[in-house]
Chains A and B, each alone.
Chain A
């Protein structure tokens, strides 16, 4: 794996390599798995916050900057990136977070990485630096390539720097756990919570225990009243807990070490049917995040993935294999492919330097 020290070195390396996949800290193992003919180049060396202006609610950082470093810098100024991202304690980089499109539980309230990225610079397949978007919180000039690069998996260009919007941190946060009796009841309660006056910062659902987790953020003088209102909404089923759940969710420490993890976009209405399918497979564990809009499906061994894929196909759903072995497919369930996808790939990477989104050369 090559590790350039600056963008100029990165550019030199890329133009010399016929086939390249950019990576960060390789925390999302399956997304970094390619065949031997493809050169891995890490952007970890392109690290550091270039500009942070708390009064502008923006920062600009190199792609290799660790998410943890950014969180600390923001926290020191009473701000945060509400959508956070996964694996920050394991050294995940900002570029990797954007390329993998993995927002944290905090995406529920204000949106995900796609909603907070304002500007981007990347190295195209032709080895040219391209900038899009801007550095101010509002901008409608030109095509929104910053958003397109969220979830692009390093297959359309190498992200080198990004500008993000940030928000003030809530003064106090609390977590309430809501015990449910069934998935149906959980979805009903989730819908009620999501449309409520409480302005929750996160709503997750731990399907195996049938527990909802609600994160309340507010000024300290108001939080007790809001929390009390939630407790009174489902008497006997709500208790305040620590923030361990969010830590586990962010670091994916609940996923078996040798297991595989799949991201499945869903909507609250789809949760019950998806659960029925996956529970029939046996040892499958799912946590729903972002107010029931994404399921993280964990299996103890990769060989269960084909059954997960079949289940998704039955529901016309798709999944992205994030963590696991290279021998298992990147995409699960209903296939996605279109002519426009191929033409976009060609526009950004005409010589096919990066693998395709389908992991083909």
Chain B
């Protein structure tokens, strides 16, 4: 890139435009560590005005940019563009407002997900979307990738909790979509912006919907002798008319890993565990827990543990939340997929994954959001063995195609990013993708905002690295 960074340094202070190798290399990869690319520079704005100026500079100079929060994307969504710049949003980290009457939080994009709940809890409110990386991932990244979590069936994803946003588009225009009302008039531009994977521009102020914290919880951990029994139990719970806040399943391999990592005390000998959580007014939960316990007693479970208090509840969740990083103990490398299948076909999907695993000799651990059919097969491989990554990727591709064939989706919550862009065409027809491209062009005619993501194309960096994310290895983040 021939463009000088001098003007950029004049916009921000010199120490916030980093271009030496020691600094930029820290940004060469994100949560999808199989990819890396070296950016030309990393820019760290400290105000919305600075951010806007940086994007406008990119537009004027034709420099591609990638906005980045904590870099926890599992789809390579915040992977830099070779010779482009990374706009690190971590210093735009102010919670601008918590309004208990409107039940709204207004935040900057670099605010960490869990901080919103921490700020709101004094008012008995919380922010519902809870990706497993919520202790470190940022709201800006959550908005860009429409992040999910364990409570999506009942509460939806990030997009269901964003009321309005101010953004600088790739054209340099400053726009406001939505507001602080839960209602709006005209086409839902907020909904369109959420999950656009950074291809439209960068949100710099986001109004979030806050919910009242549930008064009471009933969390049950159930052990089964087979994965199929656990899957069937989910169907029975759903058909009963209950609407649990969360339903999660882990298979034996994932349990083994979690047990080794955090000693979560899950039932010994279980081929699968199911976590079901009810929440709500105490009177309501008291009635529903009787119903749930009676249902679960008929599902062939060999062990049942009910959380007796909040600490016990947290310990049940600890095993689940640590599962992915724990799998790193079983294998030097792994790929995590997040395809979705219709819930009633979960059992079939798991059988087929098991079959593929046996055929290929590649181990697969399964952790998934059973309530909404969102699979998270962890495909284990050793990147030091030649061809191992490619074989794991081939298996991941087969699983994604299986999800599409079953009427599901290639991604439930991680986004397409760099990783799944070659499968977009398997899920959508040519005219559908062309429409998406036309919409992208409306926001970013020069294709400078996060190029090379979502759409199949020639801009992908080479596969070059593997391994667990450094933060994951340190136990700071985990994958949903």
Contact = CB atoms under 8 A, between A and B. Distances in A.
Interface in A281-323: 290-291, 293-294, 318-320
Contacts of A57: 153, 238, 343
A156 interface: yes
A340 B175 contact: yes
Contacts of B293: none
A150 B188 contact: yes
B397 interface: no
B61 to A, nearest CB: 21
B184 interface: yes
Given A55-B238, A199-B284, A218-B281, A340 B372 contact: no
B369 interface: yes
A136 B349 CA distance: 14
B312 interface: no
Contact of A101 (B123, B171, B185, B408): B185
B156 A143 contact: no
B435 A168 contact: no
B37 interface: no
B315 to A, nearest CB: 25
Nearest to B279: A199
Central interface residue in A56, A139, A152, by most chain B CB within 10 Å: A139
B371 to A, nearest CB: 8
Given A151-B184, A195-B212, A267-B181, A145 B103 contact: no
A344 B442 contact: yes
Contact of B212 (A54, A138, A150, A197): A197
Nearest to A51: B407
Of the four ranges (under 10, 10 to 19, 20 to 34, 35 or more), the interface on chain B belongs to 35 or more
Central interface residue in B235, B436, B439, by most chain A CB within 10 Å: B439
Nearest to B174: A338
Contacts of A196: 212
A191 B435 contact: no
A209 interface: no
A194 B101 CA distance: 9
Contacts of B160: 111, 115
Interface string B102-116: 111000000000000
A293 B183 contact: yes
B428 A137 contact: no
Central interface residue in A103, A152, A218, A340, by most chain B CB within 10 Å: A340
Contacts of B242: 168
A16 B106 CA distance: 47
A149 B187 contact: yes
Contacts of B101: 187, 191, 268-269
Given A128-B435, A140-B409, 16 more contacts: A55-B344, A57-B153, A101-B185, A114-B191, A134-B409, A137-B153, A141-B410, A142-B432, A151-B184, A265-B183, A266-B183, A293-B183, A344-B439, A344-B442, A348-B439, A357-B186
24 contacts: A57-B238, A101-B184, A128-B435, A134-B409, A135-B407, A136-B342, A137-B343, A138-B152, A138-B412, A139-B409, A139-B411, A142-B436, A147-B191, A147-B194, A151-B185, A151-B188, A222-B283, A222-B287, A266-B183, A267-B179, A267-B182, A269-B101, A320-B185, A340-B173
